[in-house]
Amino acid sequence: MSIQQPTFELRDEDELSLELIEAQYALKQSRDKKNAKSVLVLVSGIELAGKGEAVKQLREWLDPRYLRVKADAPQLLSNNQTFWQSYSRFIPAEGQIVVMFGNWYSDLLTTAMHVSKPLDENLFDAYVEQMRAFEHDLQNNHVHIVKVWFDLSWKSLQKRLDEIDASEQRWHKLHGLDWRNKKQYDSLQGLSQRFTDDWFMIDGEDGKLRDQSFAQYLLQTLRELPEHQTKVTQKWQQAAIPKALLAPAQASLEKEDYKDELRKLTKKVADTLRYDERKVVIAFEGMDAAGKGGAIKRIVKKLDPREYEIHTIAAPERYELRRPYLWRFWSKLTDSGKITIFDRTWYGRVLVERIEGFASTVEWQRAYNEINRFEENLVDSQTVLVKIWLAISKDEQALRFKAREQTPHKRFKITEEDWRNREKWDDYLKAAADMFERTDTDYAPWYVIATDDKYSARIEVLKAILKQLKAD
Amino acid sequence: MSIQQPTFELRDEDELSLELIEAQYALKQSRDKKNAKSVLVLVSGIELAGKGEAVKQLREWLDPRYLRVKADAPQLLSNNQTFWQSYSRFIPAEGQIVVMFGNWYSDLLTTAMHVSKPLDENLFDAYVEQMRAFEHDLQNNHVHIVKVWFDLSWKSLQKRLDEIDASEQRWHKLHGLDWRNKKQYDSLQGLSQRFTDDWFMIDGEDGKLRDQSFAQYLLQTLRELPEHQTKVTQKWQQAAIPKALLAPAQASLEKEDYKDELRKLTKKVADTLRYDERKVVIAFEGMDAAGKGGAIKRIVKKLDPREYEIHTIAAPERYELRRPYLWRFWSKLTDSGKITIFDRTWYGRVLVERIEGFASTVEWQRAYNEINRFEENLVDSQTVLVKIWLAISKDEQALRFKAREQTPHKRFKITEEDWRNREKWDDYLKAAADMFERTDTDYAPWYVIATDDKYSARIEVLKAILKQLKAD
């Protein structure tokens, strides 16, 4: 599985420990700085090869206060949860090291080896590719990934199985594969050959060398962490601004017609959402005062609050800024129930963060593909994603801003910042155009609803949801 | 269930909204300030009384960016999870309002009404009392609790059931009780009478008045949030310092005897932990350099890292400081598996926080009972809690500090702060004495291991674990 492997020799343990701690502290001190990083160590391999011992030894050599070991028994991959979902909460923050002993690879191998339903090789390879892509995105977002495979020959494995005592045997039996079965062993080894070539292989034969190789490899990694990419390599192709955004519809619905249609549609949306077996995520973006809040109110009109959750997204908190920008959405989706509505979303990366410079050029330019992969993972896991952009004209926005300012209980909705954003109207149009160009996918298309008429906008939103749920 | 109920009349909605938003912003701005608060609204009641509508309406009147509605279908209380465990992550941070629609009371009622195994009334009352106590502790830790019951007469309920459509009927049937059953309705009403008298009752008959009563009650609450308690009312009785702490044992184990015994005990501890069906939490406190890390290393010697998690507790992060001090431990326990080891614990509240003044006198004096309740909840939920205090003499500490300073890879363990803490040696002894006096309970006794001999200490730790697991 690996093309070029570093080799390590035994060193003085105290010196190694000292150097590890120094490297760990340097990482810790990078927090909130320009080249801040975190390190995620994924550990996998043959049972009894000594993964556990190596991780324990590492904990002795490092400062344990700043090392988290997250170790779970493997779980089967499921078709309604992305492979990263149950682990996303434990993705390290800047400055941290997390060892995941029990991770998406152990889940994949367990699933592949599952006796009643073994995975076919194509599906296995597709998963490996998805994992590689996910890790690539983590790396770009400053979570450095280290993957270590602990290997052990069949003969040594059998010998070790003979030697361990009953309670350990029982434990290994409960949590692993049948390690007495040569065919299973061989097919596991075969599968691990299909992993990508960035795994570091450690031979579990010699305990001391095994532990030191693991620690020295981590040390080397900590010392050679790549700098954040800042160089813009591609020439940016600004997309053309869709006509609808430049000239939103002006036709307005009669109040009576609106009310009739609204009644029918809110009911149909509620029924459809309820009867659909999938999870549904509805994501709103659009200009300020375009009517996101009002549209959401109509979506949930015939639903009970126990059926949905609404997340109104504000600027990230400091602890969120220390992790990949998608992290705060991963965790919201992990807790979520059947229907989740986002009033502003992860697209902030390519909208406000692009325009205000909170994300560097490299970062926002890279984000489109990252977001596409994130959304594809969700959709592949039985989630329907409805993305809605609400557009109004600049004049209409001015009218609504002023109306808000003149209504005491709506004044909170409008601040100096909104007026400042308005000055960047054209930048937002450009950013939106690029976003549509790059993230309007088959699995998660954009619904652009451009009208100065509030009633029409709300009706269109409901229709868009029905359409994406294939219920229109 | 309530002795004195405020009454509200219909008001101008826009004015009400404005006042709510102002109160919400005042709360938000209290964050990180002297009288910072959060508000947790628990909503329960009769189905179709309009809880959902009232919560939705509240969301319209408030600034939705700073209101989180957490709404889950009720779940049965289980005997291996505390009633607060699945909700603890959603306890609001300072400045926030969270509405929990679906909370420990809805779980309790659902459990009590569960057809195959209804709860008996004594057990029901015991739960209500535990919940009251938990909420009391939340309040003292700046999470203000608002409890609202939405009521509806049998006749109106039946009428509403007649009127709702099929998809709503189906949803309510899936998630609730049988609301067509008069006997069930009556027994639910009977149970709710057993709640404490701090619930605000809202009649669900009139929709407008219902929504406004809910909102106006919250407004009144927000305006009348109590100041943090600062007045010390009790005269503090300093406990006598246990002799063992003043004169730790000096006898030392021979290395060979130690090794023999260690081998036997690590194996026995591993076996016992593995075969016990309960969760196990092992909590370490003690003077700096007393050997907590070394003891932990021996506990896990014969275990696989997938069997346990070790939390090394450092100073809380800012987002943790915005919540009750126990919150960060609640969440660690929620994620945890079978065996969880804490290197320093929630007792920091009555040790370092007391001594350094991070907790006020009222706060640390109150904490003993809070901690006892927290631990009792855990133990009642099939968790074994082993609390270990490691004591050494002041001279021995000096020797170990110096040894650390002279060992390059151990130098990180010793900082200026450790030397400063050492100057407060006597304060720590006093704090420890008070802690033993007040938190050495039947369900979670302290094991005080006082010896200057590292080997003996490690052996005693293993024996203490076996003893608390009743396996010695």
Same domain, B124 and B271: no
Task: Check pLDDT > 90 for residue A138.
Answer: yes
Q: Which of A64, A70, A412 has its CB closest to that of B293?
A: A64
pLDDT tens across A53-104, in order?
999 999 999 998 889 999 888 889 988 899 999 999 999 999 999 999 889 9
Q: What is the pLDDT of residue B65?
A: 84
Q: Which of A56, A302, A409 has its CB closest to that of B17?
A: A409
Same domain, A306 and A188: no
Q: Which of A63, A300, A312 has its CB closest to that of B65?
A: A312
Q: Do A305 and B71 touch (CB under 8 A)?
A: yes
Task: Compute the average pLDDT of residues A199-225.
Answer: 97
B211 vs A contacts (CB less than 8 Å): none
pLDDT tens across A127-137, in order?
999 999 999 99
**Nearest residue on chain A to B49, judged by CA atoms?**
A304
pLDDT band at B167 (very low <50, low <70, confident <90, very high): confident
Q: What is the pLDDT of residue A271?
A: 93
Q: Do B63 and A412 touch (CB under 8 A)?
A: yes
Of the candidates B133, B32, B223, B168, the residue with the CA atom closest to the CA atom of residue A301: B168
Q: What is the pLDDT of residue B176?
A: 67
Q: How far apart are CA A280 and CA B231, in angstroms?
A: 51
* Best to test chain A binding among B345, B409, B413, B417 (most A CBs inside 10 Å): B409
Q: Do B60 and A297 touch (CB under 8 A)?
A: yes
In a domain, A7, yes or no: no
Q: Do B175 and A297 touch (CB under 8 A)?
A: no
Please give the interface size between A and B, counted as residue pairs whose CB atoms are below 8 Å apart.
124
Q: How far apart are CA A74 and CA A23, in angstroms?
A: 30
B309 vs A contacts (CB less than 8 Å): 69-71
Q: What is the pLDDT of residue A334?
A: 83
Q: What is the pLDDT of residue B229?
A: 87
pLDDT tens across B178-237, in order?
889 999 999 999 999 999 889 999 999 999 999 999 999 999 999 999 999 888 988 999
Task: Check pLDDT > 80 for residue A466.
Answer: yes
Same domain, A335 and A381: yes
Q: Which of B51, B297, B306 has its CB closest to that of A101?
A: B306
Q: Do B72 and A412 touch (CB under 8 A)?
A: no
Share of chain A above pLDDT 70, in %: 98
pLDDT band at A256 (very low <50, low <70, confident <90, very high): very high
Q: Do A271 and B101 touch (CB under 8 A)?
A: no
Q: What is the pLDDT of residue B174?
A: 64
Number of domains in chain B: 2
The mean-pLDDT minimum among A8-22, A156-170, A218-232, A395-409 falls in: A156-170
Q: Do B310 and A69 touch (CB under 8 A)?
A: yes
Q: How far apart are CA B362 and CA B305, in angstroms?
A: 40
Share of chain B above pLDDT 90, in %: 81
pLDDT band at A208 (very low <50, low <70, confident <90, very high): very high
Q: Which two tokens stand for residue A372?
A: 């596409």
Mean pLDDT taken over chain A? 93
Q: How far apart are CA A4 and CA A337, in angstroms?
A: 45
Same domain, A159 and A298: no
Q: Which of A63, A319, A412 has its CB closest to that of B21?
A: A412
Q: Do B69 and A309 touch (CB under 8 A)?
A: yes
Q: Do the Cβ atoms of A54 and A211 come closer than 8 Å?
A: yes
- Decide: helix, strand or coil at residue A393: coil
**Nearest residue on chain A to B103, judged by CA atoms?**
A306
Share of chain B above pLDDT 70, in %: 98
pLDDT band at B79 (very low <50, low <70, confident <90, very high): confident
A171 vs B contacts (CB less than 8 Å): 274, 304, 307
Same domain, B216 and B247: no
Task: Compute the average pLDDT of residues A160-187.
Answer: 83
In a domain, A441, yes or no: yes
Asked whether the ipTM of the predicted complex exceeds the cut of 0.85, the reply is: yes
Same domain, B214 and B252: no
pLDDT tens across A424-438, in order?
999 999 999 999 999
Same domain, A261 and A185: no
Mean pLDDT taken over chain B? 93
Same domain, B451 and B332: yes
A165 vs B contacts (CB less than 8 Å): 267
Same domain, B203 and B282: no
Task: Check pLDDT > 80 for residue A321.
Answer: yes
Q: What is the pLDDT of residue A125?
A: 95
Task: Check pLDDT > 60 for residue A199.
Answer: yes
Q: Do B70 and A309 touch (CB under 8 A)?
A: yes
pLDDT tens across B422-466, in order?
999 999 999 999 999 999 999 999 999 999 999 999 999 999 999
Same domain, B435 and B388: yes
Q: Work out the minimum CA distance from A271 to partner chain B, whole angstroms.
A: 6
In a domain, A2, yes or no: no
Task: Check pLDDT > 80 for residue A143.
Answer: yes
CB atoms within 10 A of CB A430: 17
The Cα-based distances of A57 to A9, A25, A44, A220, B282 in angstroms read 16, 18, 16, 17, 21
Q: Do A71 and B293 touch (CB under 8 A)?
A: no
pLDDT tens across B348-377, in order?
999 999 999 999 999 999 999 999 999 999
Task: Check pLDDT > 80 for residue A170.
Answer: no
Same domain, B165 and B31: yes
The Cα-based distances of B274 to A174, B346, B348, B382 in angstroms read 11, 26, 29, 15
Q: What is the pLDDT of residue B2?
A: 57
CB atoms within 10 A of CB A172: 17
Q: What is the pLDDT of residue A65?
A: 84
Q: Do A65 and B168 touch (CB under 8 A)?
A: no
In a domain, B60, yes or no: yes
Q: Work out the minimum CA distance from B70 to partner chain A, whole angstroms.
A: 7
**Nearest residue on chain A to B14, judged by CA atoms?**
A409
Q: Do A167 and B17 touch (CB under 8 A)?
A: no
In a domain, B236, yes or no: no
B28 vs A contacts (CB less than 8 Å): none
pLDDT tens across B265-303, in order?
999 999 999 989 999 999 999 999 999 999 999 999 999
* Best to test chain B binding among A21, A328, A412 (most B CBs inside 10 Å): A412
pLDDT tens across B90-141, in order?
999 999 999 998 899 999 999 998 877 778 899 999 999 999 999 999 999 9
Q: Do A52 and B306 touch (CB under 8 A)?
A: yes
B53 vs A contacts (CB less than 8 Å): none
B335 vs A contacts (CB less than 8 Å): 89
Task: Check pLDDT > 80 for residue A172.
Answer: no
In a domain, A46, yes or no: yes
In a domain, B228, yes or no: no
Of B64 and B464, the structure prediction assigns the larger pLDDT to: B464
Q: What is the pLDDT of residue A175?
A: 63
Q: Do A306 and B271 touch (CB under 8 A)?
A: no
Q: What is the pLDDT of residue A410?
A: 87
A273 vs B contacts (CB less than 8 Å): none
Give the domain range for residue A369.
243-468
The Cα-based distances of B267 to B182, B264, B298, B304, B471 in angstroms read 59, 5, 10, 12, 13
User: What is the Cα B340 distance to its own chain's centre?
Assistant: 16
Q: How far apart are CA A211 and CA B377, in angstroms?
A: 40
In a domain, A398, yes or no: yes
Q: Do A64 and B312 touch (CB under 8 A)?
A: yes
Same domain, B219 and B250: no
Q: Work out the minimum CA distance from A166 to partner chain B, whole angstroms.
A: 9
What CATH number did the domain enclosing A198 receive? Answer: 3.40.50.300
